[in-house]
Structure 1
Amino acid sequence: MKKSSIFGLVVIAIAIAVIISVYSNTSSYGNFADAEKTTSELKVVGRLNKQKELHYDATKDANYFSFYMRDTLGTERKVVFTGTKPEDFEKSEQIVLTGKMVRGEFHASSILMKCPSKYTQDKIDTKEFKAKQQASI
């Protein structure tokens, strides 16, 4: 076999290995019940329970933030995030957490928030403006 053929096969094998490793590290979506059944990371979508306490004290530990969240099925769990509390966290409409369950708590490695649109107020004002404009005619 020629050296160029062997080199080509090695490059193809490395490319296949990289593709497999990239796809095996992607996490899938689920809920807290799914997270309890698996040891790999999972994305859980839910809403913040605003009636329960958010715990974040930057003076004691700036990398500890905990709160309670309900998933799409209504199951509530305590969430622990090892990082700083995201800005305007309480205003979020929906939260997507990536992480895994550890002793009944969901330990998140990342938080993605869906916040209220900043354009919603503009749309309301535009409707009011049009109504006022038509009333004056």
Structure 2
Amino acid sequence: MKTSYILGIAVIAVAIGVLISASNDVTTYANFAQATKSGDRVKLVGTLVKDKPVDYDPQKNADFMTFWLRDEAGEVRQIELHAAKPQDFERSESIVLTGEMKGDKFSASEMLLKCPSKYKDQEVYVREKEL
């Protein structure tokens, strides 16, 4: 066999392997009701409920915290995050969690925060000035 054929077969095999591994990592977005119904690992989008407690004691366990989240449907549930508390957590505009429902709580292993832009006030000021 020519080396170009062998190289082509190797490239195709690697591409198939990448596609298979990527398809196993697909997680769907859901709210609390959908996450409870499916029982699968999902991504959950919501906002921090600021009038409920955030429990984080880094000296007891630096990779565990609990807080309350309001999903996009308006339902409020307690979250157990099995990771360190991110910087500027309380300032976040929205939170994306990856995890699954365990009883009446959502157990998350990953969290992404959407924080307010430091340029937001400046943009508003510039727009007002131009008008």
Q: What's the TM-score, normalizing by structure 1?
A: 0.79
C-alpha RMSD of the superposition: 2.7
Residues 1:33 and 2:33 aligned together:
yes
Deviation, 1:38, is 2.4
Question: Counterparts of 1:44 and 1:38 in 2: how far apart (Å)?
Answer: 13
Larger Rg: 1
Alignment-derived partner of residue 107 in structure 2 = 107
Alignment-derived partner of residue 57 in structure 1 = 57
- Give the aligned length: 130
Alignment-derived partner of residue 95 in structure 1 = 95
- What are the ranges of 5 or more consecutive residues in structure 1 without an aligned counterpart? 132-137
Deviation, 1:9, is 6.5
Alignment-derived partner of residue 134 in structure 1 = none
Structure 1 residues 72, 8: closer, same or farther in 2, change over 3 A? same
| Matched position secondary structure for 2:16 | helix
Percentage of matched positions with identical amino acids: 44
In the TM superposition, 1:1-137 aligns within 5 A as 12=12, 15-127=15-127, 130=129
Structure 1 residues 11, 53: closer, same or farther in 2, change over 3 A? same
Give CA deviations for 1:42-86 in whole Å, capped at 9, x if unaligned: 011111100100000112111111100011001111111111111
Look up the equivalent residue of 2:31 and give its one-letter code.
Answer: N
- What are the ranges of 5 or more consecutive residues in structure 2 without an aligned counterpart? none
Structure 1 residues 16, 39: closer, same or farther in 2, change over 3 A? farther
| Matched position secondary structure for 2:64 | strand
Look up the equivalent residue of 1:103 and give its one-letter code.
Answer: G
Question: Counterparts of 2:13 and 2:92 in 1: how far apart (Å)?
Answer: 45
Look up the equivalent residue of 2:106 and give its one-letter code.
Answer: F
